[in-house]
Amino acid sequence: MNIKKFIVITIFFFITSLFLFFNSNRVYSADGPVLKGEFKKDELLVKFKNQNYIDSLLSDLKVEKKTNITNGLYKVKIAANEDIEKVYKLLKANSNIDYVEPNYKVKIAAAPNDSYYSQQWALQKISASSGWDKTQGNSTTKIAIIDTGVDYNHEDLQSKIWVNSGEISGNGIDDDNNGYIDDYNGFDFFNGTLQNPSLPFNKDTNKWVNDSNAAIDDHAHGTCVAGIAGAISNNSVGVAGIDWNAKIVPLKALGSDGSGYISDIVVAIQYAADNNIAVVNLSLISDSYSSSLESIVNYAYGKGVIIAAAAGNDDSSNVLYPAKFTNVLAVGASNSSDQKITPSMTGGAWGSNYGPELDVVAPGINLYTTDISGVGGYSNGNYLFDFGGTSGATPHVAGEAALLKAFFPSFSNSQIMSKIKSGADNIDSVNPSYSGLLGNGRINLEKTISFESSVSSSLNLSPASVIVGGSNTASVTIHNYSSSPITYKALGVAVRLNEPAWNPRDFTYDNNVTIDAGADYVFEKSKNFTELGNYRMWVAALDNTDHWLSLGSINSSIYQITPQASY
């Protein structure tokens, strides 16, 4: 072959390659496809900086439909013959767009197995009955179950399902003017129901429209989750839920196959945040980070919502989303021996995720709970005896959060989340391979919902500067944060020099002290300081069972004593 012919052939192939490349509908990066993970192949979530330019920005793209999900976040449907990666890169490069991402898939985090138990061992393990001695919850507290729906006609759930008193069922009118039509017993946000083959948002009226079956469960997962968090209790029927009185708000965002998409989870969380729902249960997972999901989680947290989410069932050190987010309680699963559940305990089926992002663990295997009534659920009856996974662990924490909301009505969501973590039992000793990776440990209702943890003490000294031989008056204020009065047989303080521990004999007491709900009790004690050194003040009480409770202490130098922080 001569050189001239070789050059002609080379140029031909080069030009052909360029033609094929620039006319291809697929855009590749140097290391393969731009978009990874499981997502809806014809949808993107786009957050616009300025909504006035949305139409012009999308006019040059092959977009079939756009839907305003929330606060300027749009779900954009790409034309069937268009490549989603091409559209993604074009939008991502536009300075008028805050962010663009795939509509990632989410799915339930359940893992039922074949072992059956006839009792709810989990309630004894987390000391639920001791917690119930203090509170059984409040009917004004609401728990949103964002899941596959809930069988709200179930015999052990029916009276616990939230009723929107401002809405008239089935009249097709947004009676309470909250932007959601017929949200009488929750709402169905899932995209793809027979009643609403597209996202249930009417752009003409700017309102969401519920379908005729509302948030009824067509899978069973959501019903199982709801039963653990809040089944009717003390009624001689079925199972006991963690919170006896809180109302369950079914928000359907997953379909009959147990999966859904970020867009549906986002609008469900926003509904909870905007409708005064205190607790959100997310027994679902996504492998992929989503800006849209993190943004709505932070929005809900900012409005005081407590979110509990499943860590995942991959037996991995990678806590999945949304549990991985900072403002979420990430929940792992343990067994009756407080061991992290591993594949060896489930016949190789699953193991609980763990890691530094985990906050607490809760029972998550062989759980007894509600199932879809009759056939159609996991079983052929009204109850299931072997529900599990971090999906089953999470509603234990959601139920605990609702109880705490009732017991400490003035507490913020941050304070309640902190109490759940600080009240947990450390279980590292029985999980040596996971030491430091199981959060604060397994939840304990007795410790978290206790009168000892219901109070805080603060200290003031007069005068504030202390000299040897001088006398100071210690004024100690004890505050009751709970919703009930607290009575002590004795309440007092002690001040000791260089003492590592306190002894009731050192105390000066007031006898038969009652502190009303939300009230303060002030105790004063005079002390002469005769030696140099570090002094410690203890605040303690004798409860009605003759147990001494430490209500706080402070280490102080006699030269400067600062007020004790509340805790």
Domain containing 444 — which CATH number?
Answer: 3.40.50.200
Residues 348 and 393 reside in one and the same domain: yes
Q: Diameter of the chain by CA atoms?
A: 112
Per-residue pLDDT, 211: 61
In this structure, are strands 97-108 and 284-285 parallel, antiparallel, or unpaired? antiparallel
* Residue 296 backbone zone (phi > 0: left; psi -120 to 50: alpha; other: beta): alpha
Domain that holds residue 492: 454-557
**Three-class secondary structure of residue 85 per DSSP:** helix
pTM of the model: 0.77
pLDDT tens for 279-315 read: 999 999 999 999 999 999 999 999 999 999 999 999 9
Question: Does a structural domain hold residue 196?
Answer: no
Tokens of 166: 């401002």
The enclosing domain of 523 has a CATH number of: 2.60.40.10
Residues 33 and 137 reside in one and the same domain: no
Question: Does a structural domain hold residue 261?
Answer: yes
Look at residues 278, 523, 558 and name the one whose alpha carbon lies nearest to residue 405.
Answer: 278
Is 133 labeled as catalytic in the residue annotation?
no
Please return the burial class of 182, using the count of CB atoms within 10 Å of its CB with bins 0-12, 13-18 and 19+.
buried
Domain count, the chain: 3
Please return the burial class of 538, using the count of CB atoms within 10 Å of its CB with bins 0-12, 13-18 and 19+.
buried
In this structure, are strands 383-387 and 367-370 parallel, antiparallel, or unpaired? antiparallel
Per-residue pLDDT, 269: 97
Residues 93 and 147 reside in one and the same domain: no
Question: Does a structural domain hold residue 174?
Answer: no
**Residue 183 and residue 161 in contact, taking contact as beta carbons nearer than 8 Å:** no
Per-residue pLDDT, 67: 79
Residues 229 and 333 reside in one and the same domain: yes
Residues 137 and 66 reside in one and the same domain: no
Catalytic residue among 127, 182, 188, 221: 221
**Residue 137 and residue 403 in contact, taking contact as beta carbons nearer than 8 Å:** yes
Question: Does a structural domain hold residue 540?
Answer: yes
pLDDT tens for 445-484 read: 988 987 556 666 666 656 555 556 666 676 778 888 777 7
Look at residues 236, 191, 240, 235 and name the one whose alpha carbon lies nearest to residue 211.
Answer: 191
Which of 422, 448, 474 is the C-terminal boundary of a domain? 448
Catalytic residue among 127, 147, 174, 283: 147
Give start and end residues of each alpha helix (H) in 73-170.
84-92, 121-125, 128-132
Per-residue pLDDT, 79: 81
Rounded Cα distance between 565 and 146, Å, is 38
DSSP 565: P
Look at residues 298, 364, 400, 314 and name the one whose alpha carbon lies nearest to residue 107.
Answer: 314
Question: Does a structural domain hold residue 379?
Answer: yes
- What DSSP string runs through 481-540? -SSS-EEEEEEEEEEEES-SS--GGG-EEEEEEEE-TT-EEEEEEEEE--S-SEEEEEEE
Please return the burial class of 528, using the count of CB atoms within 10 Å of its CB with bins 0-12, 13-18 and 19+.
exposed
Question: Does a structural domain hold residue 562?
Answer: no
Catalytic residue among 295, 379, 391, 482: 391
Residues 433 and 318 reside in one and the same domain: yes
Tokens of 421: 């973590």
Per-residue pLDDT, 356: 96
Residues 379 and 485 reside in one and the same domain: no
Is 147 labeled as catalytic in the residue annotation?
yes
Residues 315 and 301 reside in one and the same domain: yes
**Three-class secondary structure of residue 119 per DSSP:** coil
Rounded Cα distance between 46 and 77, Å, is 11
Per-residue pLDDT, 502: 56
Residues 442 and 459 reside in one and the same domain: no
**Residue 493 and residue 523 in contact, taking contact as beta carbons nearer than 8 Å:** yes
HEC letters along 3-59: HHHHHHHHHHHHHHHHHHHHCCCCCEECCEECCCCCEEEEEEEEEECCHHHHHHHHC
Look at residues 292, 149, 263, 268 and name the one whose alpha carbon lies nearest to residue 216.
Answer: 149
Residues 98 and 131 reside in one and the same domain: no
* Sole residue written with tokens 């996974």: 389
Which parts of the chain sit beneath pLDDT 50?
Answer: 5-32, 112-118, 191-200, 557-567
Residues 185 and 319 reside in one and the same domain: yes
Question: Does a structural domain hold residue 150?
Answer: yes
Question: Does a structural domain hold residue 7?
Answer: no
* Sole residue written with tokens 């009624």: 235
**Three-class secondary structure of residue 306 per DSSP:** strand
Rounded Cα distance between 516 and 84, Å, is 61
Please return the burial class of 60, using the count of CB atoms within 10 Å of its CB with bins 0-12, 13-18 and 19+.
exposed
**Residue 526 and residue 498 in contact, taking contact as beta carbons nearer than 8 Å:** no
Q: Which amino acid is at 500?
A: P
Residues 139 and 281 reside in one and the same domain: yes
Tokens of 220: 């069973």
Is 433 labeled as catalytic in the residue annotation?
no
Which of 393, 416, 448 is the C-terminal boundary of a domain? 448
The enclosing domain of 71 has a CATH number of: 3.30.70.80
Rounded Cα distance between 65 and 201, Å, is 12
